[in-house]
Amino acid sequence: MINPQTFRAIVSGQRRGPWATMARGALRVAEFPYTWAMRRRNRGYDSGRRASFATEVPVVSVGNLTLGGTGKTPLVEWIARYFRQQQIRVAIVSRGYGATDGASNDESLELQERLPDVPLVQNPDRVAGAATAVEELDCQLIVLDDGFQHRRLRRDLDIVLLDALEPFGFDHVFPRGTLREPISGLARANVIVLSRADMIDASQRAAIRSRVQSLAPSAVWAEAIHAPRQLRGQSSTAPLASLASQKVAAFCGIGNPAGFRHTLASCHLEVATWREFPDHHAYRREDVEELARWADASGAAEVVCTHKDLVKLQVDRLGQRPLWALEIGLSLTEGEADLAAALQPLAERVRCERDAP
């Protein structure tokens, strides 16, 4: 079984040598049936042969073109807050990927802390989840989390995030690359947001935008950065400056560890030792005990992880070291007004239906 780091090193071409070349060849062969299946599925929905289901309320989908983390959770939070500020009852519907035994998954736990007044519905059948949100929770608008490839539920607005570090999945569909579907699928998007835009230079951003416009010429374009807000512990918060220039032990179990490392560097935190876990890793007691030994042996003053990891660990220390999560917020550096303009008609629709006699 190839771990995520080795997989990306192979499909990106970073890993060299005969073994890596043979692995890429085998993955290329496996790519064909998956690509064929995704194209056939999309044609079915485009032609109407596959049924899709509408809800009684507007649906905004936030999704990816590629596997792994692109920063969906902060954008879902931003959109939910946008509508809540207009007194619209919002519900977030997700598949609940990575959840066990009916419990909330890591993204839902994180959103519950940040959006206590927004209900979250997890259901592998997102059509049924949307019905629950409307009929039982009386929501007026649904934000569909990770919904771009889930086409059974109709949406009024499709928002797709592209990670600036890996925007086009190495130009191959999984398993030869990290695309969830052929890149031509971007044509369905209404809004495209380049996340972690500060991690590449202006010329690289312009090249990505040019390619996107050739695939989705009518889509709204926006750029976003993931800006650290504060340190969050299990029961307290602290300013980022409290750890400035200190040695920390850092770890994460997310789809894009490189993005987290970049954020740590931007906060001037010196990483003395580093650990990576698979995305959606379910931390067990053995993991916590091993992390405690690792932290105590690191020589670091404190331990830092992502908010997504903290909500699953539910501890305030690892060994003798305090554990902090770096709380991240989304800041739109370009296209914020255009994104708001794309969302606003849905808010107006809700108000019209609410105020109708």
Domain CATH for 316: 3.40.50
Measured distance CA(271)–CA(281) in Å, rounded: 21
Cβ neighbours for 153, distance < 8 A, ≥ 6 positions apart: 52, 53, 55, 59, 61, 93, 126, 127, 130, 144, 147
C-alpha of 261 from chain center: 16
Same domain, 147 and 189: yes
pTM of the predicted model as reported, rounded to 2 decimal places: 0.86
Q: What tens digit of pLDDT does each residue of 260-306 get?
A: 888 888 888 889 899 988 887 889 999 999 999 999 998 898 999 99
The secondary structure of 101-166 as a DSSP string is: TT---HHHHHHHHH-TTS-EEE-SSHHHHHHHHHHTT--SEEEEET-TT--SB--SEEEEEEETTS
Same domain assignment for residues 252 and 234:
yes
Residues 184, 94 share a domain: yes
Domain that holds residue 36: 4-47
The enclosing domain of 212 has a CATH number of 3.40.50.300
Amino acid, res. 298: S
Residue type, 25: G
Return the SS3 of 309: helix
Same domain, 103 and 199: yes
Q: pLDDT tens digits, residue range 185-222?
A: 999 999 999 999 998 999 999 999 999 999 999 999 99
Answer yes or no: do 156 and 232 share one domain: no
> For 294, which DSSP code?
H
- Same domain flag for 67 and 169: yes
What per-residue confidence (pLDDT) applies to 270? 85
Q: Which residues pair with 248 in a beta bridge?
A: 271, 302
Residue 350 near residue 141 (C-beta atoms within 8 A): yes
97 has pLDDT over 80: no
Structure tokens at 38: 């995704």
Same domain, 280 and 302: yes
Q: Which pLDDT value is given to residue 71? A: 81
- The full length of the chain comes to 357
> How many domains are contained in the chain?
3
- 337 in the same domain as 193: yes
User: Which letter, b or e, does each residue of 302-322 get, where b requires 16 or more Cβ atoms within 10 Å of its Cβ?
Assistant: bbbbbbbbbbbbeeeebbebb
Quote the pLDDT of residue 245.
74
Given a cut of 60, is residue 98 above it in pLDDT? no
Contact assessment for residue 163 and residue 50, using Cβ atoms and an 8 Å cutoff? no
Q: What confidence category does residue 80 fall into, taking pLDDT thresholds of 50, 70 and 90? A: very high
Q: Is the peptide bond before 175 cis (omega within 30 degrees of 0)?
A: yes
In this structure, are 85 and 206 located in the same domain? yes
Residue 324 and residue 272 share a domain: yes
Q: Which two tokens stand for residue 268?
A: 């001037």
Domain shared by 107 and 220, yes or no: yes
Separation of alpha carbons 227 and 160, rounded Å: 19
**Cβ atoms within 10 Å, residue 3:** 11
Could you tell me which residues come within 8 angstroms of residue 97 by beta carbon, excluding any fewer than 6 positions away? 105, 146, 280
69 and 210, same domain (yes or no): yes
